[in-house]
Structure 1
Amino acid sequence: MELHIRPLGELTLIELSGDIEKGDADLFAERTTKVSKAVVALRSDGGSLIAGIGMGELVRSKGFATLVPANARCASACALVWLGGTRRYMSPEARIGFHAAYDGNGNETGIGNAILGAYVNKLGLSYSAVIYITQASPTSMTWLTAEEAKKNEIDLTLTEPTSTTSSNSESESAPSASAVTLRDKVGEFITTLFALWSSPNEKVTSILPRLYGSRVLFYGREVSDNEVLTDKINSMNRWPQRLYKVRQGSLTVQCDASIGGCKANGIVDWVVRSPARNVQGGGSSTFEYMIAMRDGPLRIVAESGNVISKLPTSTLR
């Protein structure tokens, strides 16, 4: 299992993906010790029943919400983690799948189903939900719908769809107006951000304090906004002349209103100069930002990236 923790202002986004294996519940507990308010976003085809139940119990005890985002699949043990959410979110474009418990030979197991049923009851779900969740054989899957969830008293909230489907037999997708507006807003924010980095130092330093949240996951370390500003100012002083340009067609933005955040990825090409040192450099880098959109202006709450090509530092001409 891969686990990524990203602060979004007062809320934390915990992203879980990949196979759920023995020991993952302990890893989840260890990594989330200091997290008090979170949404757990899930993408997994499942894995260990016991690990999935253990993680679901931890999610419930910590009061976390769960989410299966657009175009993601959460099945088997992953779906059990999702059930643990104090509030459960599901994109209309997501798939959540359940089936009966099985042993190491792929055969349905009564003991496993008893453990599964006890877990579901512990979450406060009905007997109808237990039957629904275990009705599919280990070699098949029951895919949850909003209608079936309501019928079997499985509370969930559908997030806003990122697309609408036409009445034709072939789906013809188009982004919803609100999703387009939000993605466009974040896209403009990122474009403006790199334009700002290309500005004189005085202009950057006057705006910089308004760009970041109070806590930032900054290249793998959670730091304060002041620490981010110090790093940025040091970089600006080293390279007072800068030109950054987002590579055409590389910027992608994914937003989810239920967690109050957007992720922006892309490639930026750059040239930097230091007249005082008579040197210049340049290259290309990937970038990834998490943007919080709760309670007012957009704020950067996570930043990372990697240099993918770099020109040797040379003397200014």
Structure 2
Amino acid sequence: MRMKRRFLYTIITIVLSVSVSMGAATAAVSYRHLSTTNGTTILLVEGSFETGDDPQHIALELAASPAKYIAFNSAGGDRSIAMAFGKAIRKTGLPTLQTKGSPCLETCLLAFMGGLSRYAEDESIGISVETFATSAESDGRLNPSVSAALKDYLGTMGVSASLLDAALSMPLGQSKELNLVDMAGYQLVTAQLNEESASADEVQDIQPTDQAGAVEVFNEFQRVWSGSSSEAVAFLRNVYADRIQYYGKDLSREDVLKEKSAFVDRWPTRIYTARPGSVHALCADKCSVFGVVDWYAFSATRKKGASGAVNLALTWDPVSRRIVSETGRVIETDKAVAGPDRIIRRWILDATACSIGNAVDAEVCKSRSILEADLNSSGWCDQRGLGWRQCASP
């Protein structure tokens, strides 16, 4: 059994927050080589990004003193120079690291994106208009060529262009801290370090079978949660760890099961289905799986229905094969829910895409079949020529 060690982020946060402080007079980029108490080496990029800074100097710093991570202590600076630093970092093949103990503000996030792998603590990254726009563009209306260049850069770095749209739509002077669900949705993070990470070397040892297993658990979670109430609770009893980080609370398995049991009693009919292409796993010593889940719930006794969509995240331990964390954020809710309209729309989209044949991934066809079975078991049938209606009583 691996010896439980202190959380790598905790150590790095202490190092950065205690031994490094960013002075307001810092005018250009400088470098500091740090070593954590467990021997992990970090190249810290400090200061603002100015036109006189040479991004290629990073390679010289690493040649003189190799590092396992690149981190930042920066208030931002020139946008084009920050992107040049990101490109230079990508050439090194090193991961970038963001913690709450050291700021990476505004355009610094563009340099952070350069990491071949990107790790971040929950709510350690914030976005604002200033992340992408200069003071002259502070109304959020970028020149089309600038917007295109930024989206091309994000695409090159594997970050969703929706991050740019989200930042530019925010009110001036406001920022938003991102949780891990948001970061994963924007593809800002590519993996997650966890409390029992033994070393940086172990973090790099990601097994594809772990990622596949985590995705399988995520999908099975939705399938069973759409089934009978007794089967759903029994499944969770077997798949949850003894203690769970449940929507920000540290709870026992029994406490979580009480909440789940109360939910299924309130909503006996449930359909939960992950959108095709939205589920992906980020693995270090544990795997975090993220996906957009459409849902419908109905109570015949109360004659009430509800539906919407949620960004759901589960953290799964491939060693114990247990879920150790569950969290999420509702992103869509429907009004005046009389039936599973949302799920039916999903079925129509998947069925249409599946009919294209070879141009469609098999995942969409599988999703269509699952949705059809879920709708049938919930009392809804596809009546030829009439569309989806409540099934006729036998």
Q: TM-score, normalised by structure 2?
A: 0.41
Query: Of residues 296, 299, 302 in structure 1, which corresponds to 2:322?
Result: 299
Query: Of residues 17, 21, 38 in structure 2, which corresponds to 1:86?
Result: 38
SS in 2 for 1:312: coil
SS in 1 for 2:233: helix
How has the CA–CA distance of structure 1 residues 139 and 303 changed in structure 2, closer, same or farther, with 3 Å as cutoff? same
Partner of 2:85: none
Query: Of residues 310, 320, 326 in structure 2, which corresponds to 1:285?
Result: 310
Partner of 1:218: 246
Partner of 2:72: none
Q: Which has the higher contact order (CA 8 A, sep 6+)?
A: 1
How has the CA–CA distance of structure 1 residues 261 and 311 changed in structure 2, closer, same or farther, with 3 Å as cutoff? same
1:51 aligns with 2:3: no
1:241 aligns with 2:269: yes
Q: Deviations over 1:209-263 (max 9, x none)?
A: 122122221111112111111111111111011111101111121101xxx2011
The 5 Å alignment of 1:95-244 reads 96-97=42-43, 140-141=57-58, 142-144=60-62, 148=66, 179-244=207-272
1:43: how far off? 9.5
Structure 2 spans left out of the alignment, 5+ residues: 22-29, 69-93, 96-115, 118-203, 340-389
Partner of 1:170: none
Give the Cα–Cα distance (whole angstroms) in 1 for the partners of residues 330 and 208 of structure 2.
30
Q: Deviations over 1:277-303 (max 9, x none)?
A: 122111111111111223x3x211111
Partner of 1:6: none
Give the Cα–Cα distance (whole angstroms) in 1 for the partners of residues 16 and 323 of structure 2.
37
How has the CA–CA distance of structure 1 residues 145 and 267 changed in structure 2, closer, same or farther, with 3 Å as cutoff? farther
How has the CA–CA distance of structure 1 residues 139 and 206 changed in structure 2, closer, same or farther, with 3 Å as cutoff? closer
Partner of 1:310: 333
Query: Of residues 299, 312, 326 in structure 2, which corresponds to 1:274?
Result: 299
Contact kept, 8 Å, 2:292 with 2:311, in 1: the verdict is yes
1:206: how far off? 1.9
Letter of the structure 1 residue corresponding to residue 36 of structure 2: G
Contact kept, 8 Å, 1:279 with 1:313, in 2: the verdict is no
1:54: how far off? 7.2
1:306: how far off? 1.2
Q: Deviations over 1:158-216 (max 9, x none)?
A: 99xx99xxxxxxxxxxxx99732221111111001110100101111222212212222
How has the CA–CA distance of structure 1 residues 232 and 76 changed in structure 2, closer, same or farther, with 3 Å as cutoff? farther
Please state which structure has a larger fraction of its residues in strand: 1
Partner of 1:40: 9
Q: TM-score, normalised by structure 1?
A: 0.50
Count of residues in Structure 1 that have an aligned counterpart in Structure 2: 195
How has the CA–CA distance of structure 1 residues 145 and 216 changed in structure 2, closer, same or farther, with 3 Å as cutoff? farther
How has the CA–CA distance of structure 1 residues 313 and 148 changed in structure 2, closer, same or farther, with 3 Å as cutoff? same
Give the Cα–Cα distance (whole angstroms) in 1 for the partners of residues 294 and 66 of structure 2.
49
How has the CA–CA distance of structure 1 residues 146 and 269 changed in structure 2, closer, same or farther, with 3 Å as cutoff? farther
Letter of the structure 2 residue corresponding to residue 268 of structure 1: V
SS in 2 for 1:305: strand
SS in 1 for 2:8: strand
Partner of 2:363: none
How has the CA–CA distance of structure 1 residues 231 and 87 changed in structure 2, closer, same or farther, with 3 Å as cutoff? farther
Contact kept, 8 Å, 2:43 with 2:67, in 1: the verdict is no
Structure 1 spans left out of the alignment, 5+ residues: 1-8, 12-35, 56-74, 91-95, 107-136, 151-157, 164-175
How has the CA–CA distance of structure 1 residues 42 and 186 changed in structure 2, closer, same or farther, with 3 Å as cutoff? farther
How has the CA–CA distance of structure 1 residues 50 and 307 changed in structure 2, closer, same or farther, with 3 Å as cutoff? closer
Give the Cα–Cα distance (whole angstroms) in 1 for the partners of residues 260 and 308 of structure 2.
18
Contact kept, 8 Å, 2:307 with 2:337, in 1: the verdict is no
Q: Deviations over 1:16-38 (max 9, x none)?
A: xxxxxxxxxxxxxxxxxxxx742
Query: Of residues 237, 255, 279 in structure 1, which corresponds to 2:283?
Result: 255
Give the Cα–Cα distance (whole angstroms) in 2 for the partners of residues 181 and 37 of structure 1.
26
Give the Cα–Cα distance (whole angstroms) in 2 for the partners of residues 253 and 146 of structure 1.
35
Letter of the structure 1 residue corresponding to residue 335 of structure 2: P
1:139: how far off? 10
SS in 2 for 1:249: coil
Q: Deviations over 1:99-139 (max 9, x none)?
A: 7x99x9x9xxxxxxxxxxxxxxxxxxxxxxxxxxxxxx999
1:53: how far off? 2.3
Letter of the structure 1 residue corresponding to residue 17 of structure 2: A
Give the Cα–Cα distance (whole angstroms) in 2 for the partners of residues 261 and 87 of structure 1.
22
